[in-house]
Structure 1
Amino acid sequence: MGLNFGMHSVTLIQVPDDPDGFLSADQLNWSIAATNAGRRAGRACWARRLAPALGARRLLLLIMPLYALGSLAVGLGDHFGWTLSGRVAMFVALGIPEGSVRGYMSEIVPPTAPCPLSALLSFMLYLGQVLVLAVAPLLRWQVLFIVVGVVPAALCLSGLLFLPNSAKWLLSRGHSEEEAVRSIQFFRGTQVDAAAEVLALVVVGQLMLAMGLNFGMHSVTLIQVPDDPDGFLSADQLNCALLSFMLYLGQVLVLAVAPLLRWQVLFIVVGVVPAALCLSGLLFLPNSAKWLLSRGHSEEEAVRSIQFFRGTQVDAAAEPGTWRPLLLASIQMVQFAWCGGATLLLITAFVLDPVQISLSEYQRATLPAAFAALVCVPGGIIIERYGRLPVLRLGGVLSAIGCAAVAAYFFLAAEPQERLGWIVLAGAGLTQVAFVGMLANVAFNYVTELLPNKTRTSGANIVLVVMNLSLFALLKMYPLIRDGIGLGGGFVIHSLVSLCQVFFATFCLKETKGLSLEQIQHLF
């Protein structure tokens, strides 16, 4: 994948000057933007069907030949149709197994080392970008596409012959416990406790009757107040009290009683009666299992809470819910795509071309990827030491500052720009430190950490589809952004999104440092 990201910059540099070039500027833009659409299509159309049945290992064995064929279509074709279809096919092949592979990695990695491994994977991605840009001056872009397609596919296929499936996948498909234990011991050593992972507890419960009664009062007041001889509410004042949705049980109850009572008396009833019922009921209700566990209470007390609400026959180790962590992870990936670092990495040549610095096109395109490769592994170590949330907040702040510096350069007059090109490099460097060393490592860890075991693979695929849709929109819209509000305006947008990242990490996410996957799921 890193090699393919590097090819974005290679094509931006070589295609416009290619004497045999057959791609227009708009076709080149489509060939780059469509790659993320290909990744999205791979996950949306095939990943959910193939991944659960085949597992990550077998899925890769089937998909890598498609990836290599796509590279041959780009390398040997002499028409825009071949280039577009080949690049889309390559990224479809990368997209189909991506969620499964990330789920596979989270299952085979020891619980104490998810961030260092994630950082190592990020390092390989950025190393791929550096390698392809280092070789690019020596090879034509179509020849280079064949190399970045065939060589990685061959290496991947040969390596997969020696790797087993994950223990969780084996158990889910009815394989023996002995085979699952052998898988764990293959990755973690023979001394590992293969029975260490245990499902914990979760419960969600809410009482909404009182709110429903009050929402029903919206209709009562709309009916009675305009005709009330002692009315003191204007139409505008009445409208301000309305909310946007209804809870139907409360509405039915209050509307059934409304013809018998004056609206002000009815307000007293719907206030006092639900409050009395709620208070009397709360005397007999225990706290939720989630709250008990978060406050250090025993697991036995949490189990009793679940069994109180669901009966003694309930499976207290039931799988946690999916929608809330899925939504949080998806929002995180949208912010990740638009915080500025992805722009610098994916279309480096496009962004740095107008900057007045004494570097060649290839050197400009290589700098962000090389810098990313240097900071991603130390970033993973820092995250493991200080936790996800502090690093995520700091990353958002640094990314906002870096993007603001890049934006400031493009708002300067022509003469100062000739002397201050280093501002862009400093801002881009700071953005890369935040994006690669902090935001990327945490974001991709959250993709697998937040989702329940049962839906981790499909959930990860959905989250990555969201990310790739965001990247597709970013790449397709950036020429329009440049022509409309300039590159300075584009990086103002990135800076604002980075600040949103700080608030999102502060108010919506929770710390997962040192917790197993099962413990993390109970936080959300």
Structure 2
Amino acid sequence: MTANTQRPQTNTVSRFREVLPQVLAMGAANMVVINLTLALLLSTLVIAEVHHSDAELSMDDTLASWFGSLPFFCQPVGSILSGFVVQWLGRKRSLMLINIPYFVGYVLISTAPSITVLFLANVLLGTTVGFTEAPINSYFGEICQPELRSILAGSAAIFYQVGMFVLFVLGSLTTWRVTAGVVAVIPVVTMIMISQVPESPIWLIAQGRLKDAETSLCWLRGWVDRGAYDRVTTKSAQKRADDRETKNLLEEHNMSEYKPSPELNGFLSDNQATKQATSDNAQLPSCEDNTDPTMREVALEMKNIAGHDENQRMISPVDKQITIEKELSTEVFTAEVSDGGRKSKFVTMVKLLVQPETLRPLFLTVSFFSFYGFGGMPSIRPFLVEVIDNFHTPIKGSWSSVAMAVTGFLGSVVMIGSVNRLGKRSLAMSSVAVCALSCLLLGVYDYLFVDRATWVPLVLFTVFSFANSIQGQIPWLLVAEAFPFRTRGLAGGMAAASNYIASFIAAKTFLSTEHSLQMYGSFWFFGVVNCLCFAFLYFLLPETEGKSLEEIEHLFAGNKDHK
């Protein structure tokens, strides 16, 4: 082999090492999902013991319906406000601070001396759930490589089911007070775990903190050595211009006009020679220090974040003067001078929200969440133990709820394992169809065999839980990826708020609905709602699986010419 054909020996970072830090970061963030689950479901354990109870703390139907639905009622306030707070504090800091009210809420429930304190604790927990939505969904969408985004963001469903399982097992073994006291440890553990993972590189760039963004990206792509990264950025790109493994993150988030810092200029200025070499399939010159190719990939990804993708048309330095602060912070969060007057922040935000790339996914997710809210599970969740007992299953309702949590967990695993192969559209429609059939059959069983103690209703409930865990996660995946960066925080918060508004109405009215329509009529109603949801998704839900954030944005914007 001649000297001209010899290549330097390099130690590559394995794919496992590249993926592991993203998994760890998502795992830490998903601990917040467990807190969210506990906050929403603690009322189920409380209601099961104090509803029509002779104990010191007791609730009638009116108090029970308000208590069970209160977290959903308070959530929209926190959800909408969180869209602004997360842009100010950042994703990581927001995820850390929200653990404080979770801890306080659990302690209040554990020690509550009166019904009033229980209600105050539920108000605090519900509002905190709302504040959770924007930072966690934004973080999910911004730290992962595109090919891993659906799997890792979908892992939130597993943590949700784990939280549900732990809560119901504790509730079956001990009292609701002890359960609340035990789970108060989880927010402390969560805060410690999140403190060890990096901030979103996209948010750091939006704040002009390019060096911190580079460090964050190096951590997330396999703990790449920063010193080696700096050496790469001063040498040739060492990367094919058509490399599809490192996506243009900034372009995906509508931030392609970012002006890079001087630290990247040496790396970015070498693009012409690289383009010529790659177009001729020629061997690129190697770095003198035999730098790890994975470090070069991180450098290229950071270069792409800076908006200098070699596949994009070259933009003159004059046109590049619009900085990321102008693109994001000025457009969205500050008043802007135009036509001799100042546009209010409200008007500017409304204009961004009504653009097709935001309005269309917002309509889709709000509608999907609304169908889901009235489709059964959110309605019965605060009264789950009592509802199951109404069907006279061979085991107690508390342990039946544990079985439902197990099947829900299995459904989440199936969703994560199959979403890349089957796509979100197929999973959403099939899960909604199964939910519709399960609810209709539960209604038929309650109508015909209400006094019989068989395993049939428990089987139907577990099938319903399995499918519902898949159905309920799909709109959250859409929230994590469907909105442009400029409106992701607020639009994601609005979508999440719609979910909890629908869930509040469904939970608050369930007892009245059950009294009016009977149990079988209520489940027939849930079945009809799921049938309508199936028709809605059939006509309006596009397939977004496997697409980059930029491609999804163009899809909803209706740009058919975009490749």
TM-score class normalised by the smaller sequence? 0.7 to 0.9
CA distance in 2 between partners of 1:137 and 1:325 (Å):
40
Q: Tell me which residue corresponds to 2:275.
A: none
SS of structure 2 residue aligned to 1:515: coil
Amino acid at match of 1:331: S
Residue 113 (1) aligns with residue 148 (2): yes
Structure 2 distance, partners of 1:397, 1:103, is 30
- Could you tell me how far apart the structure 2 residues matched to 1:346 and 1:117 are? 28
Match status 1:443 vs 2:495: no
Q: Contact between 1:22 and 1:78, CA under 8 Å: does it hold in 2?
A: no
Aligned partners of 1:200 and 1:380: how far apart in 2?
23
* TM-aligned CA deviation for residue 350 of structure 1: 3.0
Q: C-alpha separation between the residues in 2 aligned to 1:337 and 1:352?
A: 19
Distance, in Å, in 2 between the alignment partners of 1:97 and 1:137 is: 28
TM (normalized to structure 2)? 0.68
Contact 1:116 1:381 in 2 (8 A): yes
Partner of 1:124: 159
**Equivalent residue number for residue 178 of structure 2:** 143
- The Cα of 1:435 is off from its aligned counterpart by 1.3
Residues 1:339 and 2:375 aligned together? yes
Over 3 Å counting, the alpha-carbon distance change for 1:490 and 1:22 in structure 2 is closer
Name the residue aligned to 2:529.
497
Deviation at 1:340, TM superposition (A): 2.1
Paired residue type of 1:347: F
Distance 1:405 1:77, change over 3 A: same
CA contact (8 A) 1:9 1:348 kept: yes
Alignment partner for residue 326 of structure 1, among 331, 351, 362? 362
Contact conserved, 2:75 with 2:130, CA < 8 A, in 1?
A: yes
The 3-state SS of whatever aligns with 2:146 is coil
Give, in whole Å, the separation in 2 of the partners of 1:61 and 1:119.
21
Counterpart selection for 1:403 from 425, 436, 439 = 439
- The answer to whether residue 407 in structure 2 is matched with residue 374 in structure 1 is no
Q: CA deviation at 1:342?
A: 3.1
Report the secondary structure of 1:523's partner residue: helix
For residue 91 of structure 1, the aligned residue among 110, 123, 126 is 126
What is the distance in 2 between the residues matched to 1:28 and 1:384?
Answer: 41
Match of 2:464 among 421, 425, 431: 431
The equivalent of 1:196 in structure 2 is 248
Q: Deviation digits for residues 206-249 of structure 1, max 9, x if unmatched? A: xxxxxxxxxxxxxxxxxxxxxxxxxxxxxxxxxxxxxxxxxxxx
The answer to whether the 8 A contact 2:434-2:464 is kept is yes
How far has the Cα of 1:175 moved from its partner?
Answer: 0.8
Larger deviation, residues 486-495 vs 11-20: 11-20
Q: 2:503 aligns with which of 471, 475, 494?
A: 471
| Structure 1 contact 68–153 (Cα < 8 Å) conserved | yes
Structure 1 equivalent of residue 520 of structure 2? 488
Structure-1 separation of matches of 2:513 and 2:107: 33
Paired amino acid for 2:392 = Q
Counterpart pick for 1:156 among 190, 206, 213: 190
Q: 2:93 is matched with which residue? A: 58
Q: 1:426 to 1:183 in 2, by over 3 A?
A: same
What are the residue-to-residue correspondences of 1:302-321 with 2, within 5 Å?
Answer: 321=357
Q: Distance in 1 between matches of 2:142 and 2:382?
A: 29
Structure 1 counterpart of 2:487, from 455, 478, 497 = 455
Contact 2:61–2:511 at 8 Å: present in 1 too? no
CA 1:132–1:323 in structure 2 vs 1: closer, same or farther (change >3 Å)? Answer: same
Taking structure 1 as the reference length, the TM-score comes to: 0.73
- The residue matched to 2:546 in structure 1 has which SS? coil
Matched, 1:175 2:209: yes
SS of 2:536's partner is: helix
Deviations 1:111-150 (A, max 9, x none): 11223223321111111111122122443322322332x2
Q: Report if aligned partners of 1:39, 1:95 keep a CA contact under 8 Å in 2.
A: yes
Distance 1:115 1:491 in 2: 31
Q: In 2, distance between residues paired with 1:131 and 1:61?
A: 22
Structure 1 unaligned regions, length at least 5: 203-298, 304-311
Structure 2 match to 1:19: 55
Secondary structure of the corresponding residue to residue 387 of structure 1: helix
Per the TM alignment, residue 444 of structure 1 is displaced from its structure 2 partner at its CA by: 1.0
Partner of 2:450: 417
Where 1:332 maps in the other structure, the secondary structure is helix
What secondary structure is seen at the aligned counterpart in 2 of 1:357? coil
SS at match of 1:391: helix
Given that 2:447 and 2:520 are in contact with CA atoms closer than 8 Å, whether structure 1 keeps it comes out as: yes
The 2-side partners of 1:12 and 1:399 are apart by 25
Q: Show CA shifts across 1:132-190 (max 9, x none).
A: 22122443322322332x212101111122122101110111111x3213212322325
Q: Distance in 2 between matches of 1:339 and 1:456?
A: 26
Rounded to whole Å, the distance in 1 between the matches of 2:174 and 2:360 is 48
**SS of 1:112 mapped into structure 2:** helix
Query: CA 1:67 to 1:78, structure 2 compared with 1: closer, same or farther past 3 Å?
Result: same
Summarize the alignment of residues 271-282 of structure 1 with structure 2, pairs less than 5 Å apart. Answer: none
Identify if the C-alpha distance between structure 1 residues 201 and 21 changes in structure 2 by more than 3 Å, giving closer, same or farther. Answer: closer
Aligned to 2:26: none
Q: Name the CA distance, whole Å, in 2 between partners of 1:449 and 1:123.
A: 19
1:456-482 per-residue CA deviation (whole Å, 9 max, x = no partner) reads: 111110000000000000110000000
RMSD: 3.0
AA aligned to 2:72 is N
Distance 1:430 1:371, change over 3 A: same
Distance 2:221 2:457 in 1: 44
Letter in 2 for 1:154: V
The structure-2 alpha-carbon separation of the partners of 1:339 and 1:23, relative to structure 1 and needing over 3 Å to count, comes to: closer
1:455 to partner: Cα distance: 0.9
CA distance in 1, matches of 2:86, 2:514: 39
SS in 2 for 1:162: coil
Contact 1:402 1:426 in 2 (8 A): no
Residue 163 of structure 1: SS of its match in structure 2? coil
Q: Residue 79 of structure 1 aligns with which residue?
A: 114
Is residue 407–residue 489 contact of structure 1 (8 Å, CA) maintained in 2? Answer: yes
